[in-house]
Structure 1
Amino acid sequence: MDSQVSIWFFSIITAFSFAFFSFTILFSLLVLFLRWKLWCNCEICHAYLTSSWTKEFDNLCDWYTHLLKKSATGAIHIHVLGNIITANPAHVEHILKNRFDKYPKGKPFSTLLGDFLGRGIFNVDGDSWKFQRKMASLELGRVSVRAHAFDVVKSETQSRLLPLLSSVAGKGKVLDLQEVFRRFSFDNICRFSFGLDPGYLKLSLPASEFAEAFDLASRFSAQRGLAYSPVTWKVKRLLNLGTEKQLKEAIKVLDGFAREMIGKRREEGFSERNDLLSRFMGTINDDKYLRDIVISFLLAGRDTVASGLTSFFWLLSQHPEVESAIRDELERVVGSSTEQFASFNQMREMHYLHAALYESLRLFPPVQFDSKFAQEDDILPDGTFVKKGTRVTYHPYAMGRMEQVWGSDCLEYKPDRWLKNGRYIPQDSYKFPVFQAGKRVCIGKEIAVVEMKCVVLAIIMQFKIQVPGLNPAPRFAPGLTATLRGGLPVLVQEREA
């Protein structure tokens, strides 16, 4: 009798949950339909809601770029999303600098990523953001911390990356270079942030529960932002269904890992260590807060570097003259040195390498867009009205393809555009907001760029990377950072001494 009652009760609960979920989805779609029909029936909103843009474009970012190019102001309005998207440098400067306090990340964004990033630096505003920013700036600015970061990159490159490439060189074996870079940067950022070596890039390419959970948490958190209405994912989270259930399980793994690491560090002591966790533990006693801070740095230091390196080598495969120029510069700067790696000071003298990397980031920024939310009514420099609560998105991917920003050759990969008399000349950060700009400019930028340079020089010095096939235009998978669908399959050849 008790079992029958339990089955009956479970059936009722399941039926009620399904009915409630179905009603919520239908209600959300009805609201969107009414907003579209009664408030906006414009061509852009229609194309977005029906996904008709996919008939002409492989990537949403390319469709946005197409629309922004046609806009007289360099901005478009997706009314059904309450989102103004811009590729206008004046708008970027306005929201990131001139009216910074009026354009925070906002509650909608922090709610979206709250389960994953918690109160980490990329998901908060106000005093919490200022505190973490000040702490991170202080620690990342220390010579000992930067030297530690450089040593970690060199060690990972020498002991893992190069041996892995050697193991497949000349054997006709296709290697997914994007996956290699993701493993490399994961090992690297874990060693730098936690003082832990997960060994994700060992020759056996082992599985890692933590890395896989991190990937799932990042992907499913990003998918929340693609929903037509936040009600959809919130109901799925409430009922513990689908991707929200998987997200919850992935975050549980991350939380357990973080607790274990923090506990070990407290037992072993942290005052003499240079990893970020140890540095922050000297000031913060809240373990949950420490977890949020470090997970945020893992996100920034892992996926962005891997994305930047993947795009760079995809471009190099189509521009062998750029690779030759980098190798010539390397030989000129390093000379007859027997060292396997260029020193930090030697890399600072490689202006062409720096220009080639920045030109790659211009065309393929790891973070293709970033959003803020207007705290009050505002007017953009060109007269565009922004209603309170509106999401304003600046789009670095589109900005790199705007003729009025970069000239008629904006679609070409030309490192020379960054050089004057052979020396690198920086561009206005508001027309190149790849590392953000203004008060939120990336404080780990220099460490990330040095990491990329180490990898590029080490690889092209010893190997030739070829992308087989016709090199179709990149297609991106949904996510917080730009990730190529299907990875980057390559063939590796050893260079002659």
Structure 2
Amino acid sequence: MEYSENLSFLQSLQASFCFIFFFFTISFSIFSFFLLFMRQKVWCNCDICCGYLTSSWLMEFGNLCDWYTHLLQKSPTHTIHIHVLGNTITANPDNVEYMLKTRFDNYPKGKPFSTILGDLLGKGIFNVDGDSWVFQRKMASLELGSVSIRSFAFEVVMAEIKHRLLPLLSSYAEKDGSVLDLQDVFRRFTFDNICKFSFGLDPGCLELALPISQFAESFDLATKLSAERAMVASPLIWKIKRLLNLGSERRLKEAIKKVNVLAKELIIQKRKLGFSTHQDLLSRFMACIKDDDYLRDIVISFILAGRDTMASALTTFFWLVATHPEVESKIRDEADRIMHPNQEFPSFELIREMHYLHAAVHESLRLYPPVQFDSKFARQDDVLRDGTFVMKGTRVTYHPYAMGRIEAIWGPDCMEFRPQRWLNNGTFFPQSPFKFPVFQAGIRVCLGKEMAVVAMKSVAAAVLRPFNIHVVHANVAPRFDSGLTATVRGGLPVVVRERRATDQHC
């Protein structure tokens, strides 16, 4: 009896302790959130902040990036402040060079950014600074800079074009008037490519049946919901939702869980099959990294870099070309002139000779960069080149989308799609990366830049010669969903038709 009473007393004491501990934890958390809330500037009466908080910009602009562009165009320094977000946004090339090159050490990704994307990207190269970034950067630079890996990447792209992309387009061309979402096609195309190139895995997303990929769907949802965290007026909102496992944060958690399971399964299978003789990037990283969680983060970063950005770039490129027949005609003329009459696919060497196509790709990226803006966080107080004071901890964003529409940078025809602005006597002439930071610039410049451009040119040359691509809503400018990359809302509905032999050789 005494033993039972003692046991009952201990259980009661334990329950009381657990309740007190739980109550203390919740109270402390609420108190901490309250203190943080009091430090946030959650309201500001300036026109920009009021416009952001009330979403009144929607009455005039279809995209948030277009509203930002409007504000940056009006600003004498091409720099604005959104106080409720603690965000300084600039479209000034001098400021971009200062951030990405001159004072690179003072403008890291920063903890606020890594916190927003940490659940998805972990310690991948796009979400870290310091030694971890240097290590991954050095590894990727050694691999992506080699001739063998670039040759392998080109072979992967051309195989996907030949065996999947063109047969799919041909099948729709035979269905007279059938509508195809070209953005969905390009997302499948690039997903297959990045998986084969980076992991030695073929998910077959672009097969004629257009199968559903659970991994791709979960990844899309995770990137979309992660990006939405950065759009709220205060990080407290999504942090509380994550703590309580509510709404979008619950959906994000579930999506990331599926992504993690599939990514880790990929690593396990790769380890079982052996990786010492394989060409893909994951095999090369696995030779020196044993931590599967770290490898998972690298896998996710590869997919984000090689899939979403490329699909976005191809989608807006084909929309622009389809709505500018004179550019389409010049691209075809150049391809016909450089390639042999009976040559169906261009070689790597011939792709490099297509200067007008190279210019058209860059002009498309100028107007519609896949990553419309990128943010850093000031490590110390600073002053930008245009005189803007930046307080320690401030988010500083440079805006490539807006920069492509600034007359002071690109001239009075900046809103026009003119590939010839990149040509000098028919030869491609590059511009400063700080006025065209589509691939970032300075120390963090994109390592896959050249491969991405070659892939875009390969798709364009292979598709535009045999097919006419008619955009269903050609007169409607793209509107974008929120996300880490620019995804066209509603996709890109097109009708595909075979070009007649007389059209191809006239």
TM above 0.5: yes
Structure 1 residue aligned with 2:434: 430
**Aligned residues, how many?**
476
Structure 1 position 244, deviation (Å)? 1.3
1:282 matches 2:272: no
Structure 1 residue aligned with 2:7: none
Verify the 8 A CA contact 2:323 2:474 in the aligned structure 1: no
Output the TM-score relative to the length of structure 2: 0.91
1:269 matches 2:274: yes
Residue 383 and residue 469 in structure 1: after superposition, are their counterparts in 2 closer, same or farther (change >3 A)?
closer
1:456 matches 2:460: yes
Q: Percent identity?
A: 67
2:404 maps to which of 400, 405, 423: 400
Residue 113 and residue 496 in structure 1: after superposition, are their counterparts in 2 closer, same or farther (change >3 A)?
same
- SS at the partner of 2:41? helix
Structure 2 residue aligned with 1:5: none
Partners of 2:264 and 2:167 lie apart in 1 by: 33
1:72 maps to which of 68, 71, 76: 76
1:378 matches 2:382: yes
Residue 174 and residue 189 in structure 1: after superposition, are their counterparts in 2 closer, same or farther (change >3 A)?
same
Structure 1 position 469, deviation (Å)? 3.6
Structure 1 position 235, deviation (Å)? 1.5
Q: How does 1:252-263 map to 2 (within 5 A)?
A: 252-263=257-268
Structure 2 residue aligned with 1:196: 201
1:367 matches 2:371: yes
Partners of 1:50 and 1:122 lie apart in 2 by: 31
Per-residue Cα deviation, 1:13-34 (whole angstroms, up to 9, x for no partner): 9xx99xx99x98xx88x95998
Q: How does 1:437-452 map to 2 (within 5 A)?
A: 437-452=441-456
Per-residue Cα deviation, 1:234-264 (whole angstroms, up to 9, x for no partner): 1211122222112111111121112212112
Gaps of 5+ in 1: 1-8
2:470 maps to which of 466, 489, 494: 466
Structure 2 residue aligned with 1:3: none
1:304 matches 2:303: no
1:210 maps to which of 196, 215, 218: 215
Per-residue Cα deviation, 1:178-200 (whole angstroms, up to 9, x for no partner): 01000110111011111100011
- Name the aligned partner's letter for residue 283 of structure 2: S
Partners of 1:34 and 1:281 lie apart in 2 by: 43
Structure 1 residue aligned with 2:189: 184
Structure 1 position 124, deviation (Å)? 0.2
Q: How does 1:121-270 map to 2 (within 5 A)?
A: 121-170=125-174, 171-270=176-275
Gaps of 5+ in 2: 1-14, 502-506
Structure 1 residue aligned with 2:414: 410
1:109 matches 2:113: yes
Structure 1 residue aligned with 2:6: none
Verify the 8 A CA contact 1:32 1:228 in the aligned structure 2: no
2:351 maps to which of 347, 353, 360: 347
Structure 1 position 309, deviation (Å)? 0.4
Partners of 2:177 and 2:474 lie apart in 1 by: 17
Verify the 8 A CA contact 1:396 1:433 in the aligned structure 2: yes
Verify the 8 A CA contact 1:402 1:410 in the aligned structure 2: yes
Structure 1 position 36, deviation (Å)? 5.5
Structure 2 residue aligned with 1:420: 424
Verify the 8 A CA contact 1:32 1:80 in the aligned structure 2: no
Which is greater in Rg?
2
Q: How does 1:49-68 map to 2 (within 5 A)?
A: 49-68=53-72
- SS at the partner of 2:490? coil
Partners of 1:449 and 1:124 lie apart in 2 by: 26
- Name the aligned partner's letter for residue 252 of structure 1: K
Structure 1 position 335, deviation (Å)? 2.9
Structure 1 residue aligned with 2:96: 92
Residue 259 and residue 165 in structure 1: after superposition, are their counterparts in 2 closer, same or farther (change >3 A)?
same
Residue 234 and residue 31 in structure 1: after superposition, are their counterparts in 2 closer, same or farther (change >3 A)?
closer
- Name the aligned partner's letter for residue 251 of structure 1: I
Structure 1 position 411, deviation (Å)? 0.3
* Stretch moving more, 133-142 or 248-257: 248-257
- Name the aligned partner's letter for residue 35 of structure 1: K
Structure 1 residue aligned with 2:41: 35
Structure 1 position 35, deviation (Å)? 3.1
Structure 1 position 382, deviation (Å)? 1.7
Structure 1 residue aligned with 2:3: none
Verify the 8 A CA contact 1:36 1:45 in the aligned structure 2: no
- Name the aligned partner's letter for residue 48 of structure 2: I
2:483 maps to which of 479, 484, 489: 479
Structure 1 residue aligned with 2:322: 317
Structure 1 position 470, deviation (Å)? 4.8
- SS at the partner of 1:35? coil
* Stretch moving more, 90-99 or 254-263: 254-263
Partners of 1:428 and 1:396 lie apart in 2 by: 13
Partners of 2:57 and 2:473 lie apart in 1 by: 27
- What stretches of structure 1 move > 4 A for 4+ residues in a row? 30-34
Partners of 1:376 and 1:420 lie apart in 2 by: 42
Structure 2 residue aligned with 1:6: none
* Stretch moving more, 430-439 or 252-261: 252-261
Per-residue Cα deviation, 1:379-431 (whole angstroms, up to 9, x for no partner): 01121110000000000000000000000000000000000000000000000
Partners of 1:201 and 1:267 lie apart in 2 by: 27
Partners of 1:260 and 1:89 lie apart in 2 by: 44
